[in-house]
Structure 1
Amino acid sequence: MIVWLNGAFGAGKTTVAAELCRALAGARRFDPEWVGFVLRRIRPGLTGDYQDLAAWRTWTVRLAGLAARHARPLVVPMTVLRADYRAEILGGLRNRGMSVRQVVLRVPGPVLRARIDGDRVERAARAWRHRHVERALAELGGLADREADTIEVDNHGRTPDEVAVEIVARLALPTRS
């Protein structure tokens, strides 16, 4: 199974992914940003969002599909706001025979902004993340009602471990002994 963690930038996807990988038997993390970094090295003049590149979406499906064959489950923390891109990527993985569950981490707008401002690791991304808060909240809000195999989990006022425990329970995933 692939557990795709979606959510606004600053929603805690990377932190929750780490907790899930600790909790789940055989779990590994795959980060599609690595694909974007490679594409930027190949195309140095690339500006904007690498998700707009068909090559990023194609290679994300190929590499996540390959990784999922060696890690059960595969945890993928990646914000994908556009519905057509989500359909292409998640549908592409399902077409390769993968079971995919999308988990949207919900965090209120003011909390997201505070998290973005307080992030000590991704300081250079602050302005970009702030510009996408409203769009992320609009695109991802209520997503479980619109897209199959999607659940929404609150990631506010709880520890990453508590959030991971809820995800494990709701998806009925096998934990480490």
Structure 2
Amino acid sequence: MIAWLNGTFGAGKTTTARELTQLIPQSRIFDSEQIGYMLRHVLTEPVDDFQDWPPWRPLVTRTAVEILNYVGGTLIIPQTVLVERYAREIFQGFDSEGISVQHFVLHASADELVTRIEGDQIDTMAREWRLKHIARYQEALPWLRDAATIVDTSGLPSQKVAQDIASQLRQP
């Protein structure tokens, strides 16, 4: 099974993913951004986001499938995907492999996201890039609301968000 944690930067995906691994037996985090970092060493065609490279999406799916085939359990994937076609492509790939995906969107208001991103002392280099994505996230919200379970993270500690998600996960 896969628990996909979507949402824009600052929504709490990574922190919530860490908390979820403490609540879900035999779970582990799969950071699909690593696929993008790998592709940067191979592909030189310019893109705004590594998700725009066509190989990224099937490589995420294939890698997750292989990991699950090897270790079983639950993969928690904290990854922002704001392009509906990209999400559909990834999730259809899992479906064709018989892998259940539960898609959650960690949501916070634009003001709260700005506060969180500006307060992040760890990733100051990407601050402007992350802030620019708030508008893209807002534009994607209509399809995200239809495609996923929205989890409002406003004012909630990550432990509570993780508990809420864990209680909603349906074991296959």
TM-score of the alignment, normalized to the shorter chain, above 0.5:
yes
Distance change (3 Å), C-alpha of 1:83 and 1:47: closer
TM-score, L = length of structure 1: 0.90
Sort the Cα spacing of 1:25 and 1:155 in 2 relative to 1 into closer, same or farther, 3 A: same
Partner in structure 2 of residue 73 of structure 1: 74
Identity within the alignment, %: 38
Give structure 1 regions of 4+ aligned residues with deviation exceeding 2 angstroms. Answer: 43-48, 140-144
Structure 2: gaps (5+ residues): none
Deviation readout 1:76-98 (Å, 9 max, x if unpaired):
00000000000000111111110
Paired AA for residue 79 in structure 1: T
Contact in 2 for aligned 1:8/1:137 (Cα 8 Å): no
AA partner of residue 158 (structure 1): L
Q: Secondary structure at the match of 1:134?
A: helix
Confirm whether residue 26 of structure 1 aligns to residue 22 of structure 2.
no
Instruction: State the one-letter code of the partner of 2:100.
Output: S
Alignment of 1:1-177 (within 5 A): 1-43=1-43, 46-69=46-69, 70-141=71-142, 143-144=144-145, 146-147=146-147, 150-172=148-170
> Measured at CA, do residues 60 and 87 of structure 1 come closer, stay the same or move farther in structure 2, by a change above 3 Å?
same
Which amino acid is the alignment partner of residue 57 of structure 1? Answer: R
Counterpart residue identity of residue 12, structure 1: G
Deviation of the 1:64 alpha carbon: 1.1
Alpha-carbon offset, residue 141 of structure 1: 4.8
2-structure distance, mates of 1:88, 1:142: 14
Kindly provide the amino acid, as one letter, of the partner of residue 84 in structure 2: A
Name stretches of at least 5 consecutive residues in structure 1 with no aligned partner. none
- Counterpart of 1:2, as a letter, is I
2:7 alignment partner AA: G
Tell me how far apart the structure 2 counterparts of residues 23 and 173 of structure 1 sit (CA, whole Å). 13
Give the residue type in structure 1 aligned to 2:107.
Answer: R
> Is residue 84–residue 143 contact of structure 2 (8 Å, CA) maintained in 1?
no
Q: Which residue identity lines up with residue 138 of structure 1 in the other structure?
A: E
**What letter matches 1:68 in structure 2?**
L
Task: Give the root-mean-square deviation of aligned CA atoms.
Answer: 1.7
